[in-house]
A and B are shown apart, each in its own frame.
Chain A
Amino acid sequence: MASLDIENVKKQFGNVEVLRSISINIAHGEFLVLVGPSGCGKSTLLNLIAGLETISSGIIKIGEQNVTHIAPKDRDIAMVFQSYALYPSMNVRKNISFGLETRKIPKPEIEKQVAKVASMLQIEDLLDRRPAQLSGGQRQRVAMGRALARDPAIFLFDEPLSNLDAKLRVEMRTEIKLLHQKVGTTIVYVTHDQIEAMTLADRIAIMKDGVIEQFGTPKNIYESPASIFVAGFIGSPSMNFIPCEITEHDGNLKILLVAQGDEKCLVPVKGLSSSPEKLKGQKVILGIRPEQISAFNLSEKKNNNVFKLKCQVRLTEPTGPDTLVFTQINNQKTTCRIHPDKAALPGESMEMGFDISKAVLFDPKTQKRIY
């Protein structure tokens, strides 16, 4: 059993606070992804878990053991690095067995382990090569093999795919996920790529400026982002943020969407707890994902959540399965994901259906979600 408990961890470099009071708990076997823009402290946090940097305050526990102040080698972890960090003077076999040899594991045992890992990752025929003779993808496999051979309590991955080309990255991503299903070891994985975070994670911690903006399952984070930052960071193309004002209409709170050409549409606001009087006139930001804006079709007329608005198309970007259509709503560039056959040409206008069942509202001042 190796759960990971991070309690109130802080890290300072001189006067600079890199991590401010981070707390994360994951259970045994979970896949945690730390994601965020560069400089958010995610790699520092990983280094603290690994023990490669000293912690300023707080506690880190792996399983039942408090590892806050013990050396990396005694933490029962293995790490895969962005540059792979394969030992250049050793062949693949040596690279994989190095960690076992320093731990004085008997030779036959080591050989067995190397063979097992090599067959698991299909690198048997590379065992006698040097890192310089391997391709990027092969190095990546060897780096994972080195980590696997140790059979640790926790795997740490530090942006392992960012040095690979796009196609290989997708392949290796799948392999990492398969590997996790097969070995079931707890994994902490750092990336700046939100797609990797979404596809791999059981739990995502989105970090910004040394704090965790949101911690939750991928679905939870995608559907209920806690702030504009999270909503904008996760999902591609990014969520639309349309500035609006709350008005009262027929006794209900509504927000007004105005497209180019002065086409208008009133959208009801639900679920706001404060009193209507207080909210009236308040400025909010409507967050709506591109896939929630599609070509309006008549069958949706009865759907209470879909609202029609005629919009002018500024630009289209066909991606294949969908065409991204850009338009202006409330003077804000808005992306809509439209079926390719239904997308209008730039300059034309088309009827869009806004599905607000999953739309969210943010407070423009605090940037937090209010509904």
Chain B
Amino acid sequence: MNSEYFSNDYQKTPFMLFFRVAVYAVLIIAAIYFLIPLVIMIFTSVKTMNDIRTGNLISFPRQFSLEAWKSAWDTACIGVTCNGIKGYFWNSVKITVPAVSISTIIGAANGYVFSKWKFYGSEVFFSILLLGCFIPFQIILLPMAKMLGMAGLAQTLPGLVLVHIVYGLAFTTLFFRNFYVTIPQELVKAARIDGAGFFRIFFKIMLPVSIPIFVVSIIWQTTQIWNDFLFGVVFSSGDTQPITVALNNLVNTSTGVKKYNVDMAAAIIAALPTMAVYIVAGKYFLRGLTAGSVKG
């Protein structure tokens, strides 16, 4: 950065001061604009129903209560069962964890081959695989349903996991391939002369430097899979549904009083894991996306 640009002398001119203030004003307004929905959700989720009925949407909760959270987790009715969203939350975990890990590991191996062990036609293979990034979800629904049926995996968690792995591979392969092409080919040559083979080079040389791209791949896949609604609603039913589908059903359950506080609490619960992932690993995400060079 050019320090002169930020020097005090420069800022003291009236125009620059005005400019500075204007920039901050815009940023603050934008931040408020994006934060308000979240704030309203959190406020509403800790209000009592009475509070909601009598107050207005953006007012502070007059009475702080975690009842709605308990209810959303444990007792809220989704369809005809009234066990809250906890089962579906764990469904999503059971889908996301294996799908993310398997698609990331296979993507790493794919990327390694496509960048460091090119074979005749590997570029064509890679291009075909890349097409997967551009295929809309909707197109593969019917053929996928048919295949899951034939494999006996229809409406099961493993089936949904499989769908996410297959669909995610295009992205994870792209991530890892683009990361590994920045690692000098000479490293592989050196390792080959040192007597290391395909797997030894992968595990000892490539994987230890791959942490940034692993983080990118894991964040990307986790948000994609956790937030997925379409595959969940199509390829699962009843108690194998992921949390996104359950949330939809909870909010749309038409019997009884509409409990806004429970809806909001459930929605926040559904969004928490992806938010947590971003907060914990967000800086690696940015760093990994921009990671060009591994200097050796």
Contact = CB atoms under 8 A, between A and B. Distances in A.
Contact of A79 (B189, B208, B209, B296): B189
Contact of B209 (A50, A52, A88, A146): A88
A73 B208 contact: no
Interface in A46-83: 47, 50, 52, 71-73, 77-79, 81-83
B295 A98 contact: no
Contacts of A86: 296
A47 B193 CA distance: 11
A-B interface, 4 closest residue pairs, ranked by CB to CB distance from nearest = A89-B208, A99-B194, A73-B195, A102-B195
Binding site of B, secondary structure by majority: helix, strand, loop or mixed?
helix
A176 interface: no
B189 A52 contact: yes
B294 A77 contact: no
Contacts of A83: 184, 186, 296
Contact of B194 (A47, A73, A82, A89): A73
Nearest to B210: A89
A123 B39 CA distance: 59
A84 B296 contact: yes
B203 to A, nearest CB: 11
Nearest to B187: A85
Contacts of B191: 87, 98
Contacts of B204: 87, 98
A151 to B, nearest CB: 13
A225 interface: no
Interface residues of A, number: 27
A52 B205 contact: no
Interface centre among B194, B195, B208 (most CB of A within 10 A): B194
Contacts of A52: 189, 192-193
A87 B184 CA distance: 10
Contacts of B258: none
A120 interface: no
B296 A99 contact: no
Given A79-B189, A79-B190, A89 B196 contact: no
A72 B192 contact: yes
B200 interface: yes
B294 A85 contact: no
A167 interface: no
A321 to B, nearest CB: 38
12 contacts: A52-B189, A72-B193, A73-B192, A77-B193, A81-B189, A83-B186, A87-B187, A87-B191, A98-B194, A98-B196, A99-B193, A102-B200
A103 interface: yes
A88 B295 contact: yes
Contacts of B190: 79, 81, 85, 87, 146
A272 interface: no
Interface string A131-158: 1100000000000001000100000000
Given A72-B189, A98-B194, 7 more contacts: A72-B193, A73-B192, A79-B190, A86-B296, A88-B295, A98-B204, A99-B195
A89 B187 CA distance: 12
Interface in B159-178: none
A89 B205 contact: yes
B193 A79 contact: yes
Nearest to B189: A52
Contacts of B294: 88
A81 B186 contact: yes
A366 B257 CA distance: 99
A50 B196 contact: no
A250 B34 CA distance: 101
Contact of A85 (B184, B196, B200): B184
Nearest to A147: B193
Nearest to B206: A89
Contacts of B192: 52, 71-73
Contacts of A81: 186, 189-190
Contacts of B196: 73, 98, 102
B78 to A, nearest CB: 48
Contact of B205 (A71, A87, A131, A150): A87
Interface centre among A82, A85, A99, A150 (most CB of B within 10 A): A85
Contact of B296 (A71, A78, A87): A87
A78 B193 CA distance: 7
Contacts of A90: 208
Contacts of A73: 192-196
A88 B196 CA distance: 16
Interface centre among A72, A82, A87 (most CB of B within 10 A): A87
A171 B91 CA distance: 65
Contacts of A79: 189-190, 193
Contacts of B187: 85, 87-88
A47 B187 CA distance: 14
Nearest to A71: B192
Interface string A82-123: 111111111000000011001100000000000000000000
A309 B184 CA distance: 56
Given A102-B195, A103-B195, A88 B189 contact: no
A98 B204 CA distance: 10
Contacts of A99: 193-195
Contacts of A88: 187, 208-209, 294-296
Contact of B189 (A85, A102, A132, A150): A85
A131 B209 CA distance: 13
Contacts of B208: 88-90
A104 B204 CA distance: 15
Interface centre among B184, B186, B189, B195 (most CB of A within 10 A): B195
